[in-house]
Amino acid sequence: MQRKKIKRMLLWLAAAVLLFFITDLIFPFGPDIQYATQITDSKGVVIHAFLSKDDKWRLYSSVEEITPLLRKTLIYKEDQFFYYHPGVNPFAIFRAAARNVFSGKRTSGASTITMQVVRLCEPRRRTYLNKLIEIFRSLQMEMHYSKEEILQLYINLVPYGGNIEGIKAASLLYFGKPPQLLSLAEITALTIVPNRPSSLRPGTRNDALKQARNEWLVRFEKEGLFEKNIIEDALEEPLQIKRLLAPRQAPHLSLRLKQQFPNQPVIRTSIKSQFQSQIEEQVKNYINRRKLMNIHNASVLVINNETMEVEVYVGSADFNNPFDGGQVDGVRAVRSPGSTLKPILYAAAFDKGIITPKKVLNDVPSNFSGYEPENFDKHFNGAITTEFALANSLNIPAVKILKEVSTPALVEKLRKAGFKTIDKQAKDLGLSMILGGCGVTLEELTRLFASFANEGNFKNLRYTADSPLDKKGSAIVSPEASYLVTNILNQITRPDLPTNFDNTYHLPKIAWKTGTSYGKRDAWSIGYNKRYTIGVWVGNFSGEGVPELSGANTATPLLFSIFNALDYNSPKGWYRSPANISLRNVCAASGDIPSEFCDHQIPDEYIVGVSAYQKCQHLRWVFTDVAGKISYCTYCLPEKGFEKRSYPNIAPELIAFYEQQRIPYQKIPPHNPACERVFHEGAPLIVSPNEGSEYFIRQNEPQQIQLACQAANDVQEIFWYVNDKLSKKAAPNEPVFINPPFGRVKISCSDDKGRNTDVWIVVRRM
């Protein structure tokens, strides 16, 4: 009989267990918790937080964030047998039931931490049936989750009144620090609030909360949970709580990452929070001092060159300023780059062997098929070196180099460097792109200069801790070209050195490049050393230009200030010359290999096996009569009565500049008038009108067009023809005006050596 009873009980138990597992399969427990998105710095400290989709401050805490002190206090207060029961404490249930029956009302609960988690995940009315469901769900949870995971869920969901849930949110919003830094007194205060959220609400009921906290601390001492001296310190600790604002650092980056990872509760960034707050304040103060100049915004990006991690991200001077577009992300805004793309162009030209630092270029007025660029200061410098052209950001040499390198080649390099807008504009870009005739972002520019900091090796930026480290990268220019550019951009004797920074200890050792867009709408300054690359943009998001705005005097002081704050006297040292860079003597007049004419030689760095090996031709031999009044060619050279003399071999464009500026130069004597030879090389270059140009002229008001050319040093006279008919005879640099016929017109220019150039234009009636 006894065996039958036992057998029947075992059958009932087996049936109950089977029913439990079947019900578990049919009604699985899978809480769908909508956490608020939190953005952390590189160390895991919360720097920005967003409300959850249901408008709750419910911040996810990992198991690692539950400190031993927090675990010990919480478990002792809420559920001392948490690690021993299967989700339900039968002794607590019997005790609570007995008290409730004998008192005739609910005086004691029996909820374990697990049961509280179930209730927080699936809120129900307080009934006996729902209590049974809670018990079933608790057993389910214990079967599928570990104790640490259950405790973690409780810590994340425990309510603190209003829309604050979880100890992490309460810790940040009431104490302004993460749970790991909470003291025993603070932990105790937070653990008792959920039991009486209205009467013990932090910030409004601080006195009642302090009294309840102290009662629990005394109880902890009596029951031997903590030593007496620890309790005494906790009792003496003041309780001054007020509701704080959620962290709001790096707002632009935080919004960007939240959109990029919408379902990720914790996004760990590469941001250094101390640097971020420091630079945010620095930028805000800097712009506040310039608002009287009508300059209202700035953006800054700081990249660690070794890891390519973004350590500082400032999208605007003040995110909370709606009047000046504070919520616009200036790091990603498309702007005109001004002259900031010149370093990559010069690096490309170094790699092609076109130039070396001492190669002489002509900074003179030039016409590129109708495009006539000017320098920023409206002045021209004549013959200058490559390093002078880049250090002084001269426009004419840059356009000439781009013409030789080719626009498609430069666009391809920028495409490899991740310039999205330029990639989209590629078909429409011409020579003007090197002076700002394209669109870029601060992010793209700073990443490009980080490539120079990494010896020409391009790597992707890392915004989050999960971003893969690109160890290899891809070379966009050679280490040698990068080194030559860095050496030039490190010079301090240049016009874009800010006022009052010359000969000062405040000047950091960096290589930097400035840029100012057309109309003075954008001021740029990008700089780097071995440790950091920092990009700065200053201007107005409205696009309004400011006469005082310039890369040198507006953006560069902020760049220097940031470098001095983050890496003054950097311990990383400076760049060393690559093995393939060598020194050679060149002619100072041309930058080419010295020839028999070169008596002034200077050292120049070059790339072995790449840089051009071209003999200097800044002078040429000319046969003249004894008086030096007539020159001879080999065709008309007399048998005697002549001399061999050297004369400057000056380019026609430079001659035109000398004539215009009234700069004296040595001219080759007129060629022997008795010579009948026709020359073929060195024909005049017609600079006006341009090939294929269209002119619209009123028939009743005839308008003249200008004819202009650039001729060689040995030319004394030129002849202009219109449709093969002689129109004017003039000196090489004399302006000529004509009334052209309508239709397709041929313009010809011949010099006194018989050399000729033709262009075709179209003249239409208006």
What is the residue-wise DSSP string for 415-447? HHTT-HHHHHHGGG--GGGGGT-S-B-HHHHHH
601-609 average pLDDT score: 95
Task: Give residue 266's pLDDT.
Answer: 94
- Whether the pLDDT of residue 512 is over 60: the answer is yes
> Residue 682: how many CB atoms within 10 A of its CB?
15
Q: Model confidence at 108, in pLDDT bands (50, 70, 90)? A: very low
Q: Is 148 helix (H, G, I), strand (E, B) or coil?
A: helix
467-480 average pLDDT score: 90
700-728 average pLDDT score: 85
For every residue of 687-699, DSSP letters joined together read: EESPTT-EEEE-S
318-354: per-residue pLDDT in tens?
A: 999 988 899 999 999 999 999 999 999 999 999 999 9
Q: Catalytic residue, from 52, 61, 65, 78: name it.
A: 78
Whole-number Å distance between alpha carbons of 278 and 566: 9
- Residues of the chain with pLDDT > 90, as a percent, come to 47
Identify whether the C-beta of residue 68 lies closer than 8 Å to the C-beta of residue 103: no
Tell me which H or E stretch contains 472. none
Pick from 138-152, 444-458, 670-684: least confident: 670-684
49-53 average pLDDT score: 93
Q: Model confidence at 511, in pLDDT bands (50, 70, 90)? A: very high
402-426: per-residue pLDDT in tens?
A: 999 999 999 999 999 999 999 888 8
- Whether the pLDDT of residue 107 is over 50: the answer is no
644 DSSP β-pair partners: 623
> Residue 194: how many CB atoms within 10 A of its CB?
20
- Whether the pLDDT of residue 106 is over 80: the answer is no
Whole-number Å distance between alpha carbons of 249 and 698: 64
- Whether the pLDDT of residue 560 is over 70: the answer is yes
- Comparing 736 with 300, the larger pLDDT belongs to 300
- Report how far Cα 31 is from the mean position of its chain's Cα atoms: 40
Whole-number Å distance between alpha carbons of 597 and 587: 9
Whole-number Å distance between alpha carbons of 326 and 316: 6
Whole-number Å distance between alpha carbons of 746 and 725: 10
End-to-end, the C-alpha distance of the chain in Å comes to: 122
Phi, psi (deg, nearest 5) at residue 157? -110, -15
Task: Give residue 10's pLDDT.
Answer: 65
Helix 342-352 and helix 395-405: axis angle, to 10°? 50
In 3D space, the residue among 150, 151, 165 whose CA is nearest the CA of residue 70 turns out to be: 151
- Comparing 544 with 94, the larger pLDDT belongs to 544
DSSP tag of 659:
H
Query: Does 482 participate in catalysis according to the annotation?
Result: no
Alpha helices in 619-757 (DSSP H): 652-661
148-164 average pLDDT score: 88
Pick from 80-89, 236-245, 274-283, 555-564: least confident: 80-89
- 3-state helix, strand, coil split of the chain in percent (to 5) is 35, 20, 45
Task: Give residue 503's pLDDT.
Answer: 47
Task: Give residue 558's pLDDT.
Answer: 95
């065709």: which residue's tokens? 635
CA separation (Å) from 755 to 331, 368, 714, 750?
Answer: 54, 22, 12, 5
Q: Model confidence at 305, in pLDDT bands (50, 70, 90)? A: very high
User: How many helices (H) and strands (E) are present in the chain, helices listed first?
Assistant: 21, 27
Task: Give residue 13's pLDDT.
Answer: 64
251-273 average pLDDT score: 95
**Fold match flag (342-567 vs 685-765):** no
Whole-number Å distance between alpha carbons of 515 and 527: 12
In 3D space, the residue among 442, 445, 443, 410 whose CA is nearest the CA of residue 425 turns out to be: 410
- Whether the pLDDT of residue 93 is over 70: the answer is no
Q: Is 344 helix (H, G, I), strand (E, B) or coil?
A: helix
Whole-number Å distance between alpha carbons of 55 and 34: 10
Task: Give residue 691's pLDDT.
Answer: 84
The second-level CATH assignment, the architecture, of 342-567 is 3-Layer(aba) Sandwich (3.40)
How confident is the prediction for the chain on average, in pLDDT? 88
Task: Give residue 505's pLDDT.
Answer: 56
Whole-number Å distance between alpha carbons of 393 and 381: 12
- Comparing 452 with 713, the larger pLDDT belongs to 452
Domain ranges of the chain: 1-29, 31-236, 342-567, 685-765
Assigned CATH class of 685-765 = mainly beta
Q: Model confidence at 63, in pLDDT bands (50, 70, 90)? A: confident
Query: Does 336 participate in catalysis according to the annotation?
Result: no
**Which range, 206-220, 387-401, 680-694, has the best average confidence (pLDDT)?**
387-401
Task: Give residue 23's pLDDT.
Answer: 67
Positive or negative, the CA dihedral 234, 238, 242, 247 is negative
- What CATH number is given for 31-236 in this structure? 1.10.3810.10
- Whether the pLDDT of residue 678 is over 80: the answer is no
Phi, psi (deg, nearest 5) at residue 575? -75, 140
SS3 string of 16-77?
A: HHHHHHHHHHHCCCCCCCCCECEEECCCCCEEEECCCCCCCEEECCCHHHCCHHHHHHHHHH
Task: Give residue 434's pLDDT.
Answer: 94
Task: Give residue 121's pLDDT.
Answer: 81
Q: Catalytic residue, from 299, 339, 517, 611: name it.
A: 339
In 3D space, the residue among 690, 668, 688, 689 whose CA is nearest the CA of residue 753 turns out to be: 668
Q: Model confidence at 279, in pLDDT bands (50, 70, 90)? A: very high
175-233: per-residue pLDDT in tens?
A: 999 999 999 999 999 888 888 877 888 888 888 889 998 999 999 989 888 888 999 99
- Residues of the chain with pLDDT > 70, as a percent, come to 93
- Whether the pLDDT of residue 310 is over 90: the answer is yes
Alpha-carbon dihedral 361, 367, 373, 374, rounded to 10 degrees: 70
669 DSSP β-pair partners: none
CA separation (Å) from 424 to 216, 340, 440?
Answer: 67, 19, 11
Identify whether the C-beta of residue 270 lies closer than 8 Å to the C-beta of residue 42: yes
Alpha-carbon dihedral 573, 579, 585, 590, rounded to 10 degrees: -80
Q: Model confidence at 270, in pLDDT bands (50, 70, 90)? A: very high
